[in-house]
C-alpha cells in the first residue's frame, strides 16, 4: 500500500499506537531505508578499523561478513515486531521491565544514539567543509541544521530520504569501487593472510555491534506497515538491506585502509574522496557522503526523541507528545550531539572504536531479553493499552527483567576490552573482546528459564487499542481490547 494523499507530510504520531487506518508503505521501503542507512562513510570507517587495528584484508572481510549476519539477524528480529504492534521499539520494553523500569535501558540507549549522531556529524562536517570551502566546524553546524529539519518532519520524509540515499549511495559506491580496483592490486592484498583470533574476532565484533546497534529503534520504521504484513518478509527486507549495505561499505573501507599506507586514520573523508581525483567528481562525492549521513543521523536523532518521549510518557501515564514538545526534544538531542562533535572532532577514530564496542555491554542484554520474551514467552501476545498504565498488567517495575538485565551487563565486564575499561579475562583470551557474545547468550538463556517459571499474566491474544469503527477479530493478531 503506498502512502495516500491524505497522509500528512509532517508526522502527527510519536510513540503512540498507529491505527490500522493510518498504516501505509511497502516492504521494499524497509530494504531501501536500511540500505541507504548503511551505504555511508561511518560504515566505511568501521570496516577500515579491522585493518587499521592489525587485521589482514582476507580474514577481515570474512570476519565482517560473519558479524553482519549475526548482528543483522538480531536487528531484523526486532524489525518484525513493528507491523504487529504498531509501536516504536522501546515502548515494548515495558512488558519485560515495567512501565517505569523500562527507563533503565532506554536512558542508556538514548546515550548511544547521541554518541552515534555526534560521530556521524564529525564525518559529515568534514565532507561539507570540503564541499563548501568552510571549516569542519561550520560544516558540522550546517549538517546539524538539516538533521533537525528532517527529524521534525518525521516518518514519511525519513523513508523518502532513505530511498534517495540508496540510489545516490549505490552510484557513489560503484564508482568508488571501480576507482579503487584500478589503483590497487586487490588480488595481491587478498593473498596476504596472517590469521589471528584477536584480529578476526575484532572484525566480527565491529560488524555485529554495528548491526545490533540498530535493534533499539528498527521497529520505529516498520510500525506503519499494515498489521497483516508478513513477519518473515519484514525480517528479510530490513535485514537484507542492512547487511548488504553495511558489508559493501565495510569492504570498501577494508581495501581503502589496506592501500593507504597509514594515511587513512584522521583523514577518512578526504582519503575516500581522493580515490576519485579532484574537481566536479570530488565535489559530487563530498555531497554523496554528506547526504548518506543524513539518513542514519536522522534515524539516530529520531530514535533519541522516541526514547526521551518513552521515558517521560511512562511517568505521565499517557503516550501522546505534541509537535512543540517534539521540536524541543529534537533540538536538545541534536544540540547535544553537535556540541560533542565540535569538541571531539580531532580525536574521532580511536574514540569511535572504543565507543561502539563499549556500548554493546548495555544494550545487548536488553535485546536478548526483548527477543526471548516476544518470540518465546509471550509469543506476540502483548496488551498494548496496558503499556501506558503503571497500575496495569505490566506494573511499574518488573524485577525479573531488571535483574536479568543487570546480570547481563555485569557478566560481560570481565570480557570487555576498550579504552574506557578492560576486563581481567581479556589478556587470557589474547586481547579479544567477546563481551557481546556473552551479553546475548547468557541473559537470553537465563531470562527464558526464569520467565517460563515466573512470568506475569500473558493475554490469550494480542490486545490493541480500540479504533473507531473497528470490529473485534479472532485471528490472535488484531484483537481489540
Alpha helical stretches, state H, 5-154 = 27-38, 41-52, 57-79, 81-85, 93-97, 103-132, 136-153
pLDDT category at 260 given cuts 50, 70, 90 is confident
Is CATH 3.40.190.170 correct for 24-360? Answer: no
- Is the pLDDT score of 424 beyond 70? yes
- With 60 as the cut, is the pLDDT of residue 478 above it? no
pLDDT top residue among 106 and 455: 106
DSSP class of residue 6 equals T
The mean pLDDT of 365-370, rounded to a whole number, is 94
List the one residue out of 363, 434, 433 whose CA is nearest residue 110.
363
HSE-CB for 433 with a 13 A CA cutoff: 24
The conformation of residue 420, written as its DSSP 8-state character, comes to S
User: 465: which 3 cell numbers?
Assistant: 487499542
Q: For residues 352-361, give the mean pLDDT.
A: 67
- In angstroms, the Cα distances linking 183 to 15, 180, 275, 471 are 49, 5, 8, 64
- Could you tell me which residue, 356 or 88, shows the higher pLDDT? 88
Phi, psi of 464 (to 5 degrees): -110, 160
pLDDT score for 241: 95
Residue 479, φ and ψ in degrees, nearest 5: -70, 140
Q: Which of 59-63, 189-193, 326-330, 352-356 has the highest mean pLDDT?
A: 59-63
Rounded to an integer, the average pLDDT of 311-328 is 72
Q: Is the pLDDT of residue 3 over 50?
A: no
- What pLDDT score was predicted for residue 320? 65
**Mean pLDDT lowest for which of 10-24, 45-59, 215-229, 338-352?**
338-352
What is the C-alpha separation between 351 and 419, in angstroms, rounded?
Answer: 8
Region 44-56: what's the mean pLDDT? 86
* pLDDT category of residue 470 using cuts at 50, 70 and 90: very low
Residue 235 and residue 226: Cα distance in Å, rounded? 15
For residue 292, pLDDT over 60 is answered with: yes
CA distances from 133 to 108, 130, 146, 278, 385 (A): 37, 5, 18, 14, 53
Provide the residue ranges of all domains of the chain, joining segments of one domain with +: 24-360
Highest mean pLDDT among 66-70, 137-141, 340-344: 66-70
Has residue 343 got a pLDDT over 70? yes
Residue 480's pLDDT is: 32
Evaluate the CA torsion angle 17, 19, 20, 22 in order and state its sign: negative
Q: For residue 398, what pLDDT is reported?
A: 93
Strand segments, DSSP code E, in 377-441 are none
Stretch 220-226: mean pLDDT, rounded? 89
> For position 348, what pLDDT does the model report?
60
Q: Give the range with max mean pLDDT: 104-113, 149-158, 160-169, 231-240.
A: 231-240
What value does the mean pLDDT take over residues 191-220? 88
Greatest alpha-carbon pair distance for the chain in Å reads 66
Average pLDDT value for residue range 465-471 = 53
Predicted local confidence at residue 237, as pLDDT: 96
The yes-or-no verdict on residue 352 having pLDDT over 80 is: no
Model confidence at 301, pLDDT cuts 50, 70, 90, reads confident
Residue 376 confidence (pLDDT) above 60: yes
So what's the pLDDT on residue 5?
A: 47
Q: Which three cell numbers stand for residue 192?
A: 596476504
Per-residue pLDDT tens over the stretch 83-95: 999 988 888 889 9
CA 159, 160, 164, 167 dihedral sign is positive
Q: How confident is the model at residue 474 (pLDDT cuts 50, 70, 90)?
A: very low
- The answer on pLDDT for 137 being more than 70 is yes
In this prediction, residue 471 has a pLDDT band, given cuts at 50, 70 and 90, of very low
Amino acid 476: pLDDT: 34
Q: Helices 155-183 & 27-38, crossing angle to 10 degrees?
A: 50
Least reliable range by pLDDT among 17-26, 113-122, 214-223, 364-373: 113-122
Give residue for cell 537484507.
Answer: 240
With CA atoms as reference, report the closest residue to 468 among 17, 13, 111, 132: 17
C-alpha cell at 239: 535485514
pLDDT in tens, 395-406: 899 999 999 999
On whether the CB atoms of residues 89 and 81 are closer than 8 A, the answer is: yes
Please say if the pLDDT value at position 264 is more than 70. Answer: no
What average pLDDT does this structure show over 322-329? 77
DSSP-derived 3-state class of residue 463: strand
Comparing C-alpha atoms, which of 288, 216, 225 is closest to residue 44?
288
Q: What is the pLDDT of residue 373?
A: 94
Interval 315-320 mean pLDDT: 65
| Average pLDDT across the chain, whole number | 83
- Angle (CA) 332 335 337, round 5°: 110
Q: What is the pLDDT of residue 65?
A: 97
User: Which has the higher per-residue pLDDT, 12 or 114?
Assistant: 114
The kind and range of the H/E element at 356 are helix 348-358
Amino acid at each position: 500500500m503506498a502512502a495516500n494523499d491524505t497522509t500528512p507530510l509532517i508526522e502527527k504520531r510519536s510513540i503512540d499506537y498507529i491505527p490500522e487506518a493510518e498504516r501505509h508503505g511497502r516492504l521494499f521501503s524497509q530494504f531501501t531505508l536500511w540500505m541507504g542507512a548503511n551505504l555511508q562513510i561511518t560504515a566505511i570507517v568501521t570496516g577500515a578499523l579491522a585493518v587499521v587495528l592489525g587485521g589482514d584484508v582476507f580474514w577481515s572481510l570474512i570476519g565482517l561478513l560473519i558479524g553482519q549476519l549475526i548482528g543483522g539477524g538480531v536487528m531484523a528480529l526486532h524489525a518484525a515486531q513493528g507491523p504487529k504492534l504498531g509501536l516504536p521499539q522501546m515502548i515494548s520494553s515495558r512488558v519485560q521491565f515495567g512501565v517505569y523500569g523500562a527507563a533503565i535501558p532506554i536512558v542508556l540507549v538514548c546515550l548511544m544514539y547521541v554518541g552515534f549522531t555526534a560521530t556521524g556529524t564529525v564525518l559529515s562536517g568534514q565532507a561539507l567543509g570540503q564541499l563548501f570551502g568552510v571549516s569542519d566546524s561550520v560544516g558540522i553546524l550546517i549538517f546539524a541544521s538539516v538533521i533537525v529539519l528532517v527529524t521534525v518532519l518525521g516518518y514519511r520524509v525519513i523513508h523518502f530520504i532513505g530511498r534517495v540515499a540508496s540510489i545516490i549511495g549505490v552510484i557513489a559506491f560503484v564508482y568508488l569501487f571501480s576507482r579503487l580496483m584500478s589503483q590497487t592490486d586487490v588480488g595481491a592484498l587478498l593473498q596476504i593472510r596472517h590469521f589471528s583470533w584477536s584480529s578476526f574476532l575484532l572484525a566480527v565484533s565491529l560488524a555485529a555491534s554495528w548491526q545490533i546497534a540498530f535493534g533499539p529503534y528498527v521497529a520505529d520504521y516498520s510500525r506503519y506497515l499494515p498489521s497483516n504484513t508478513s513477519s518473515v518478509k519484514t525480517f528479510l527486507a530490513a535485514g537484507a538491506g542492512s547487511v548488504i549495505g553495511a558489508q559493501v561499505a565495510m569492504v570498501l573501507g577494508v581495501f581503502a585502509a589496506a592501500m593507504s599506507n597509514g594515511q587513512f586514520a584522521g583523514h577518512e573523508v578526504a582519503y575516500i574522496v581522493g580515490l576519485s581525483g579532484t574537481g566536479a567528481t570530488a565535489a559530487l562525492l563530498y555531497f554523496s557522503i554528506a547526504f548518506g549521513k543524513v539518513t542514519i543521523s536522522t534515524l539516530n536523532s529520531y530514535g533519541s526523541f522516541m526514547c526521551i518521549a518513552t521515558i517521560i510518557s511512562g511517568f505521565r501515564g499517557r503516550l501522546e507528545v505534541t509537535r512543540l514538545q517534539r521540536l524541543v526534544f529534537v533540538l536538545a538531542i541534536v544540540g547535544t550531539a553537535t556540541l560533542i562533535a565540535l569538541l571531539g572532532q580531532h580525536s574521532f577514530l580511536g574514540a569511535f572504536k572504543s565507543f561502539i564496542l563499549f556500548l554493546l555491554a548495555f544494550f545487548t542484554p536488553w535485546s536478548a531479553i526483548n527477543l526471548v520474551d516476544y518470540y518465546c514467552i509471550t509469543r506476540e501476545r502483548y496488551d498494548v493499552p496496558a503499556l501506558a498504565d503503571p497500575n496495569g498488567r505490566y506494573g511499574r517495575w518488573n524485577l525479573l527483567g531488571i535483574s536479568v538485565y543487570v546480570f547481563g551487563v555485569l557478566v560481560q565486564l570481565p570480557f570487555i576490552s576498550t579504552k574506557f575499561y578492560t576486563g581481567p579475562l581479556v589478556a587470557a583470551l589474547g586481547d579479544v573482546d567477546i563481551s557481546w557474545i556473552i551479553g546475548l547468550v547468557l541473559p537470553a538463556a537465563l531470562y527464558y528459564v526464569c520467565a517460563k517459571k515466573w512470568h506475569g499474566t500473558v493475554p490469550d491474544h494480542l490486545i490493541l487499542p480500540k479504533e473507531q469503527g473497528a470490529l473485534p477479530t479472532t485471528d490472535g493478531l488484531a484483537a481489540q481490547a
